[in-house]
Amino acid sequence: MSHKNFLLLIISVATLVSCRPIGVPSSMASIGEGDEKTILSGDRESGKIWQIGRNGWKKGSSFICKSIIDIQTDGESRVWALGIDKENKCRLYEIEYPQMRILKSLEMGQGADKITYDPASSRLWVSCSDINSVWEVSIPLWSVVGKIDAPRNIVGSVVYDSLVYMAGSLPEASATNAVVSAEIDVIDKRRSTLKKRIALPNGSVFCGDIVSNGKYAYVTHTINHHNLPTVRPERGWMAVTALSIVDMDSMRLEATVLLDTPEKGAGGARGMCVSPNGKELAVALFGTGEVMTINLDGLHARLDSVLNDEERVLRTEDDRPIHEDLSFLYGLRKKYGPLGKGTGEVLYLDDKTILAANLYSGDIMEIVPDSKIKRFKRIGRALTSTPEGAGEALFSNATLSFQNWVSCATCHGSDGGHDAMSHIISTDSTVSKQMTSIPSIAFREVYDSTSIKRGSLAAMALDRKTASVKKSKHKKNNRTVTVSGEEVCREAVRRLLFTEPDNDECRALSIYLSSVSPKTSPYLKNGKLSQRAERGKQIFEDSGCAACHNGQKGSLEGLWQSAPYMKDGRVATLGELIERGHGLKDKVLNDKEKRDLEEYLLTL
């Protein structure tokens, strides 16, 4: 082949790759047995479900809706998927296999993102995180037969006999409480009543997934050490990645162990899967692009060896809680990777072979112990090939931090929200305050002294640049100093991730953060205010609230999902805030007016 023809070939291949659609494998499930097993992968970007053979060959792909969120099967012949339709509504689809045609669909609640299949009762339990609810769907009737209150920002559920274990992602209390943590609710599915509420260790937040081996429920989550100043990340000072184990028979938190090591953080966990023989647990380490496997028999044997039967307390030899011991899983865990960017889902093909889906790399990797990791299937072009996608990946990327301990998502979640806790931020000395959600701060391309709050990261960046300008002999000292969104991102990484980002990373982060906008409130009725909310809006305006809060803009945007309230998070709910008379001055509201005002505020 001539040099010219070789160059033309390279250019042609590069053109084909750049024109390939972006693929975001958001979910995986399998159907069939042995060599006939088919892997189904949902694509968040294209709305397609891919059918992939056991050998990695593509069998086909079918367009279902605008975006696929989750897939579930009965393992034999039935397929269900959650997705977003063209009207941006969440829908549950029943799909004919192997033709992959839509048989029927149901509209679900806002934020529907996880399906749990219950073969004993022929039910699907659909978790709706935005409205803190689980919807019970009868498969034979194909209708919603029940709606159950769930813990805040529910991430999923598992079924155990007559009980449903639901894992919440955010605390539901005042941030100034001594203990602030996400919880697991145990529901009697026959009566739809709460049997027990299980609190995770203090600081637990952002649960990634919940799975079961038939006896225990396993929940991944972060433990944010919100009572310590953010002055260093090493050895879990700021945050750690944890696995909590719940005995489903006794409805008791058995233990919480750490997935980090003394030398390096795990960076946050997402999806999990138990091996078919129940002996191993695979965990997707989202922040580092790795997969960790844990020997379950060895884990429970080790827990039994340190359990004080009288007090049922797990402590180390030096009398520390197990969830503070970074070496507890030594010899029981193996780590594979890095596999790609944003490893979010894992699936066992057999007792040893694991598939890992990389959200931002657009591919699925195959892990076989003692063998070289290889690509199983590329779903599409990597999301990181776009500036906004690269920024989204960096936001959750713990390898951007010192020793992989934390990422932006450690405190903000992968959607840019907040962890509902008060932190002692290093930029604010000893002041304890809530972490602000990204959508509510209206991230800007340019900041000056009139558009920032003192103590904020933007203010820190401005102070640094102002000092630099004053030292410069080539610039006028009296000119207005401004900082860009990229410079604010650089300051954030320096002060909270403790590394020095390059220009491309700062630019990508800035582009992504500028694109994040608040979710539409589920309290709107068909996108409009209800009659009660209209009355509440009038009260809001007549009471002078708009003078400080500027109507529906600025600090009140996304208010429905921003609890707790006030700078330090001392007020747990909007109802409590109104009851205290915040901002009402001398105006006194009756109970009906208070309910109307709350209804309006929840629509913002």
Number of alpha carbons in the 13 Å side-chain half-sphere of residue 17: 11
With 80 as the cut, is the pLDDT of residue 443 above it? Answer: no
Q: Note down the domain range covering 101.
A: 22-107
pTM of this prediction? 0.92
Domain boundary pick from 107, 141, 158: 107
With 70 as the cut, is the pLDDT of residue 451 above it? Answer: no
Can you give the pLDDT at residue 555? 67
CB 354 within 8 A of CB 293: yes
Domain shared by 143 and 183, yes or no: yes
End-to-end CA distance of the chain: 64
- DSSP per position, 224-265: E-TTSBSS--GGGSSEEEEEEEEETTTTEEEEEEE---SS--
The pLDDT of 540-546, averaged and rounded, is 78
Domain shared by 172 and 101, yes or no: no
Surface-to-core class of residue 102, CB atoms within 10 Å of its CB (0-12 exposed, 13-18 middle, 19+ buried): middle
CATH number at residue 53: 2.40.10.480
CB 99 within 8 A of CB 117: no
Among 528, 564, 556, which Cα is nearest to 540's? 556
Q: Is residue 3 very low, low, confident or very high in pLDDT (cuts 50, 70, 90)?
A: low
Please write the tens of the pLDDT for every residue from 198-217.
999 999 999 999 999 999 99
Chain-centre distance for alpha carbon 237:
21
Domain boundary pick from 169, 199, 229: 199
- Is the residue at 52 inside a domain? yes
Domain shared by 266 and 379, yes or no: yes
Q: Which three-class secondary structure state does DSSP give residue 364? A: strand
DSSP E strands: which ranges in 8-66? 25-31, 38-43, 48-53, 58-63
The pLDDT of 272-297, averaged and rounded, is 97
- H or E element, residue 164: strand 163-167
Kindly state the tokens that stand for 448: 């000056």
Surface-to-core class of residue 156, CB atoms within 10 Å of its CB (0-12 exposed, 13-18 middle, 19+ buried): buried
Percent of the chain surpassing pLDDT 70: 88
Higher per-residue confidence, 96 vs 430: 96
Match 């699907």 to its residue by tokens: 124
Please write the tens of the pLDDT for every residue from 481-509.
787 888 888 988 998 999 999 999 999 99
Domain shared by 67 and 120, yes or no: no
Can you give the pLDDT at residue 534? 92
The answer to which of 106-115, 172-181, 467-476 has the lowest mean pLDDT is: 467-476
Count the domains in the chain: 5
Domain shared by 418 and 496, yes or no: yes
Can you give the pLDDT at residue 13? 40
Match 């944003």 to its residue by tokens: 342
Please write the tens of the pLDDT for every residue from 392-424.
999 999 999 999 999 999 999 888 888 888 888
- Mean pLDDT score of the chain: 88
Please write the tens of the pLDDT for every residue from 119-166.
999 999 999 999 999 999 999 999 999 999 999 999 999 999 999 999
Domain shared by 252 and 304, yes or no: yes
Domain shared by 159 and 215, yes or no: no
- Is the residue at 216 inside a domain? yes
Percent of the chain surpassing pLDDT 90: 62
With 70 as the cut, is the pLDDT of residue 7 above it? Answer: no
Please write the tens of the pLDDT for every residue from 325-361.
999 999 999 999 899 999 999 999 999 999 999 999 9
With 50 as the cut, is the pLDDT of residue 12 above it? Answer: no
With 80 as the cut, is the pLDDT of residue 233 above it? Answer: yes
CATH number at residue 252: 2.130.10.10
Domain shared by 195 and 232, yes or no: no
Domain shared by 42 and 61, yes or no: yes
Domain shared by 213 and 361, yes or no: yes
DSSP E strands: which ranges in 464-540? 483-484
Kindly state the tokens that stand for 270: 């997402």
Can you give the pLDDT at residue 417? 85
Can you give the pLDDT at residue 143? 97
Q: Which amino acid is at 12?
A: S
124 vs 138: CA distance, rounded Å = 7
Domain shared by 378 and 231, yes or no: yes
CB 412 within 8 A of CB 196: no
Please write the tens of the pLDDT for every residue from 546-585.
777 764 444 677 888 889 988 888 999 988 988 887 766 6
- Is the residue at 526 inside a domain? no
Higher per-residue confidence, 437 vs 569: 569
Please write the tens of the pLDDT for every residue from 48-92.
999 999 999 989 999 999 999 999 999 999 999 999 999 999 999
Domain shared by 287 and 168, yes or no: no
With 60 as the cut, is the pLDDT of residue 322 above it? Answer: yes
Can you give the pLDDT at residue 604? 87
Domain boundary pick from 462, 484, 515: 515
- Is the residue at 525 inside a domain? no
595 vs 180: CA distance, rounded Å = 27
- Is the residue at 14 inside a domain? no
**Which DSSP state fits 352?**
S
Can you give the pLDDT at residue 548? 73
- Is the residue at 356 inside a domain? yes
With 80 as the cut, is the pLDDT of residue 586 above it? Answer: no
- Is the residue at 11 inside a domain? no
- Is the residue at 4 inside a domain? no
Match 């209390």 to its residue by tokens: 173
Can you give the pLDDT at residue 473? 54
